[in-house]
């Protein structure tokens, strides 16, 4: 049983959602994918939110979702890649959970990221992935309570995250 949320942060394509979902299932813990919850609440895809309302509207939805999650039972939460960009979001996560960075080498992200599923990246290509990585990596590292190296394949990442959560929360 979790006593606090586990907020998983990191770059798009780092493995936040796939690892978070799988480990939550393995440990029989509640799981929330923030992007999926936002799109469900707003009734449109992430791309449609960006196209219709702009990035700031999506960032506002992320903040509102974090606030809502603080009122729910502790869970493993996969955040969007840009959630940590707002200081307010970082404060909410620090006050209501532990923050785990899924750190995956840029080369690995670029080799298999599906740009068509990433609204901020779809039109700008791999150069934007690299730019975002360099812009965000220090923010991710500075806010993280723990860092998981996800550069050794999916199964190693899954094992590492599961072990980290078991150690931190005695589950």
The per-residue DSSP string of 93-159 comes to HHHHEEEEEEE--HHHHHHH--GGG-HHHHTT-HHHHHHHHHHHHHHHHHH-SEEEE--S-HHHHHH
Domain boundaries, the chain: 5-165
- What's residue 125's pLDDT? 63
Q: In this model, does residue 70 exceed pLDDT 70? A: yes
The b-or-e profile of 84-108 (16+ CB within 10 A means b, else e) is beeeebbebbeebbbbbbbbbebeb
Mean pLDDT of 97-117: 80
Distance between CA atoms of residues 8 and 47, nearest Å: 22
Mean pLDDT of 129-155: 93
Q: Which two tokens stand for residue 138?
A: 């220090």
CATH superfamily of 5-165: P-loop containing nucleotide triphosphate hydrolases (3.40.50.300)
Greater pLDDT, 119 or 66: 66
- Provide the whole-model pTM: 0.91
Share the mean pLDDT of the chain: 90
């Amino acid at each position: 049983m979790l006593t606090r949320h586990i907020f998983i942060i990191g770059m798009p394509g780092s493995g936040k959602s796939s690892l978070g979902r799988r480990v939550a299932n393995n440990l029989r813990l509640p799981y929330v994918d923030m992007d999926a919850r936002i799109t469900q609440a707003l009734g449109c895809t992430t791309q449609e939110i960006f196209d219709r309302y702009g990035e700031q509207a999506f960032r506002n939805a992320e903040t509102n979702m974090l606030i809502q999650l603080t009122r729910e039972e502790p869970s493993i939460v996969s955040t969007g890649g840009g959630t940590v960009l707002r200081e307010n979001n970082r404060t909410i996560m620090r006050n209501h959970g532990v923050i785990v960075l899924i750190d995956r080498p840029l080369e690995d992200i670029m080799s298999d990221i599906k740009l068509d599923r990433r609204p901020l990246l779809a039109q700008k290509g791999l150069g934007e992935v690299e730019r975002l990585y360099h812009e965000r990596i220090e923010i991710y590292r500075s806010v993280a309570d723990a860092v998981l190296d996800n550069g050794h394949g999916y199964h190693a990442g899954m094992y590492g995250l599961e072990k980290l959560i078991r150690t931190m929360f005695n589950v």
